[in-house]
Amino acid sequence: MHLLHPFSSLLRLASAFKFHTSLFKFLLPLLCSLQFAAAATLPTAGESLLSEDALSRPWAFYPGKNQGQPVAQAKLVSAQHPAFRQAMRVQVLRPDGKFYNGAIQLPSKQAVHAGDTVLTRLHFRSVHNTEETGNGFATVFLQGPPPGYKKYLIREVSAGHDWQTYSLPVKLTDDLAPEQLSLFIGAGGGSKPQTWEVGGIELINYGSSVELSDLPQSQATYIGRAPDAPWRTAANERIERYRKGDICIQVFDTDGNPIHGAAIELRQQRHAYHFGSVITAALITGESQDAEIYRQKVLELFNQSGTENDLKWGPWQNEWGQRYNRAQTLEALQWLRDHHFYTRGHVLVWPGKKHLPRNIQAYLQQDQLQRTDPIVKEITLAHIEDITSATAHLLDEWDVVNEPYSNHDLMDAFGDTLLVDWFKAARQHLPTQQLYLNDYGILSGNGRDLAHHQHYEQTLRTLIDAGAPITGMGMQGHFGATPTAINKVYQIIDQFHKRFPQLNIRITEFDIQSDDPQLQADYTRDLLTIAFSHPATVGLQCWGFWAGAHWRPESAMYTKDWQEKPNAREWKRLTRELWWTKLDGQSNRDGVFAARGFYGDYTVKVSHQGRSQTVHFSLSQDSKNELVIQF
């Protein structure tokens, strides 16, 4: 919701009709008052949390540093805007710096309390940028004190040259003393230098007297959301080309004569593409009512799965309490196997100290990693042997390494060749399984974290050049309230495919952290569509689907009490209706029924003169897909 649009439109209208100067001067205050009327929708009971001179204080902007250079620099400038006369102009010098390193920082002058409704309001515009969209951007976040730096709001704002108004309400969940809560507007996190301005900044506390629904709220969106967005036509053409194949069913009698007019029912039973979600072993093996519903939904929604946490090193060693144990994990994986799921293991080695088991952590001293006892390497290889041997018959692929960009303590201790050793060790007990490198920050954040991209690419190159048996690229897919443009997702996937054409690509951990159910549904639809349309992808795995077992409950497809959300309906519509083949027809005079369907497993029922046969067959990209039925 951008409240300046009506005002801007009236100004353009006035200009188009070339009003006389004196008349325009007369109308200008009226137009401004209309703008303020559009914007003046705020309750009057709020208390400003920012000092009047907040922007002019010396510490209002922290330039940050990236490789010794400031991330950005800022200065106060005059602004031609009816609502304010000054703005902060921020020039981003090192766009690959993190958004929280170079930022406007405005602390609250008052204490706040759990349950308070707080509104962030600001006006943003681009002065100069070379982004493909023509829009500049910044990251607005409301943050608590160290050491947790809890973020109560995080939202990307974006605009072209015209001012755009953002209203971002949030309900706080903690009591904070004066200056413990701060509003930040971050400058980094991109790939290209840019300059932008922000002004009219407000941080208003309405206490408990106002609900979020009482306040204006700028709705988040993403590029490519429009129903007529051009990318849709190209994506659907690729889906038709890469995800479907021709079927030829021939019906003959016992003498080899073609049968004309045989009734044929073609029913898809399972998709070749992997539409999946992680599960929790405790629910798959549980006996509660929730566990029963959970299993039903897994069968209804997905054809691929794996555990979220149960196969991580700590839980595998029984360090996470009674909810996790090996027997339960193996039982859950067997359930998936019994129901013909394609299964993934996550993860053999997550090489950051905090993600390693206690017996490894004891050896790692942060300031002396290079003096770590080499026995750690032996323990790690022993773990790989143990877990792969125990699960090889139950899993089709593994994330061998997870998030090496930010979790690299073991590599800091012993060098990057460890990753090669881990892949080779995995292959010893997983002769046919797919082996993946998994990382975050590749698809999310509008794909602007180029340093992360470069590290991911270099790690892949190192593994391949060293002969590591890697077969796939795992791109996590955790998205925020302003998810990555759809065309950008495709460009990233295509870029990595062209650089590593021998590797499969899987989106491994999909969710959308947003309180807007329709945004979640629309982006689920569009991300599924663009991923499904690229021939290098083999599947998309959600990082959970039920709010009762989800690390971000608001991202789930089902509420805690099993109410279906719009994103669940979109998931089912695409995967079980739009991209699902169900055909009826008859054989022609040559005894042939020709059709086209999505790759996967089918039943074919052929009926003629009171007799029928039902056969099973798989429509695949690598076969002739011809079926002969004889009566």
pLDDT of residue 515: 85
Residue 40: per-residue pLDDT: 45
pLDDT given for residue 35 in this prediction? 39
**d(C-alpha 76, C-alpha 198), whole Å:** 10
Q: How large is the average pLDDT for residues 624-630?
A: 95
How far is residue 320 from each of residues 103, 272, 317, 358, 486, measured CA to CA in Å?
38, 35, 8, 11, 38
- 324: its two tokens: 């996790």
Q: How confident is the model at residue 7 (pLDDT cuts 50, 70, 90)?
A: very low
Half-sphere exposure (Cβ direction) of 471: Cα atoms closer than 13 Å: 14
- DSSP annotation string for 259-313: PTT-EEEEEEEEESSEEEEEE-HHHHS--SHHHHHHHHHHHHH-SEEEESSTTSH
pLDDT band at 4 (very low <50, low <70, confident <90, very high): very low
In this predicted structure, the answer to whether residue 630 has a pLDDT above a threshold of 50 is: yes
Pick the closest to residue 110 from 51, 23, 43 (CA basis).
51
Strands 117-129 and 194-205, how do they pair? antiparallel
**Predicted local distance difference test score (pLDDT) of residue 366:** 80
Strands 194-205 and 47-48: antiparallel
**Within 13 A of 272's CA, how many CA atoms are on the CB side?**
20
Strongest mean pLDDT among 34-38, 133-137, 561-565:
561-565
The token pair at 247 is: 């079927």
Contact partners, residue 339, CB within 8 Å, separation at least 6: 299
Pick from 202, 174, 184, 170: nearest CA to 141: 184
Q: Which of 92-101, 218-227, 605-614 has the lowest mean pLDDT?
A: 92-101
Chain segment 135-156, per-residue pLDDT in tens: 889 999 999 999 999 999 999 9
Average pLDDT rounded to a whole number, residues 213-227: 93
Read off the tokens for 350: 């997550």
Q: pLDDT of 242-256, one tens digit each?
A: 999 999 999 999 999
pLDDT band, very low/low/confident/very high, at 25 (cuts 50, 70, 90): very low
Measure the CA–CA gap between 567 and 466, rounded to whole angstroms.
Answer: 42
DSSP codes of every residue in 544-584:
-SBGGG-SSGGG-SB-TT-PBPHHHHHHHHIIIIIT--EEE
pLDDT for position 37: 37
* pLDDT at residue 109 is higher than 90: yes
Closest CA to 507 of 540, 479, 530: 540
Q: Which residues pair with 86 in a beta bridge?
A: 78
DSSP state of 220: P
DSSP secondary-structure letter at 536?
T
Is 22's pLDDT higher than 70? no
- Three-state DSSP at 20 gives coil
pLDDT digits (tens, 9 = 90+) for 255-296: 999 999 999 999 999 999 999 999 999 999 999 999 999 999
Burial environment of residue 257 by CB neighbours within 10 A (0 to 12, 13 to 18, 19 or more): exposed
Q: Is 26 exposed, middle or buried (0-12, 13-18, 19+ CB in 10 A)?
A: exposed
- Whats the size of the chain, residue-wise? 631
Exposed e or buried b per residue across 523-562, where buried means at least 16 C-beta atoms within 10 angstroms of its C-beta: bbbbbbbbbbbbebbbbbbbbbbbbbbbeeebbbbbeeee
Average pLDDT over residues 539-544: 98
Token readout for 497 is: 């495919």
Max Cα-Cα span within the chain: 97
Lowest mean pLDDT among 38-42, 183-187, 579-583, 612-616: 38-42
pLDDT of residue 24: 38
pLDDT at residue 32 is higher than 60: no
Span 348-395, pLDDT tens digits: 999 999 999 999 999 998 888 989 999 999 999 999 999 999 999 999
- In this predicted model, what pLDDT tens digit does every residue of 452-508 receive, in sequence order? 999 999 999 999 999 999 999 999 999 988 899 999 999 999 999 999 999 999 999
Peptide bond into 147 cis (omega under 30): yes
Local confidence band at 100 (pLDDT 50, 70, 90 cut-offs):
confident
Cβ pair 90, 130 in contact under 8 A: no
Residue 124 CB-density burial (10 A; 0-12 exposed, 13-18 middle, 19+ buried): buried
φ, ψ of residue 343 to 5 degrees: the values are -120, 145
Q: Which of 192, 213, 207, 202 minimizes the C-alpha distance to 140?
A: 202
Strand partners, 114: none
What was the pLDDT predicted at 30? 39
Please, how many CA atoms are within 13 Å of residue 424, restricted to the half-sphere of its CB?
Answer: 10
Q: What percent of the chain has pLDDT over 70?
A: 93
User: For a pLDDT cut of 90, what percent of the chain falls above it?
Assistant: 82
**Which helix (H) or strand (E) is 198 found in, with range?**
strand 194-205
pTM of the prediction? Answer: 0.85
Of 24-33, 194-203, 349-358, the one with minimum mean pLDDT is 24-33
* Amino acid letter, residue 211: E
Question: What is the distance between the alpha carbons of residues 38 and 288, in angstroms, rounded to a whole number?
Answer: 52
CA dihedral 298, 299, 305, 310 (to 10 degrees): 50
Residue 12, pLDDT > 60, answer no
CA torsion sign for 400, 403, 409, 414 is: positive
pLDDT: is 40 or 537 the higher one?
537
Q: Give one DSSP letter per residue of 464-528, joined into a string.
A: HHTT----EEEE--EE-SSPPPHHHHHHHHHHHHHH-TTSEEEEEEEEE--S-HHHHHHHHHHHH
| Mean pLDDT over each residue of the chain, to the nearest integer | 91
Q: How far is CA 555 from the centre of its chain?
A: 10
Distance of CA 403 to the CA centre of its chain: 15
pLDDT at 18: 38
Exposure of 265 by Cβ count < 10 A (0-12 exposed, 13-18 middle, 19+ buried)? middle
pLDDT at 41: 64
Token code pair at residue 306? 């794996």
Name the 3-class secondary structure at 435.
Answer: strand
Query: What span, in angstroms and rounded, lies between the C-alpha atoms of 523 and 527?
Result: 6
For tokens 């555990």, the residue is: 307
Q: Which residues contact 428 (CB under 8 A, 6 or more apart)?
A: 385, 388
Q: Residue 112's closest CA among 61, 46, 166?
A: 46
1: pLDDT strictly greater than 70? no
Backbone angle region of 347, left / alpha / beta, with phi > 0 → left and psi within -120 to 50 → alpha? beta
Give the pLDDT confidence of 324-350 residue by residue, as tens digits.
999 999 999 999 999 999 999 999 999
In whole angstroms, give the CA distance from residue 602 to residue 585. Answer: 15
For tokens 């349950």, the residue is 115
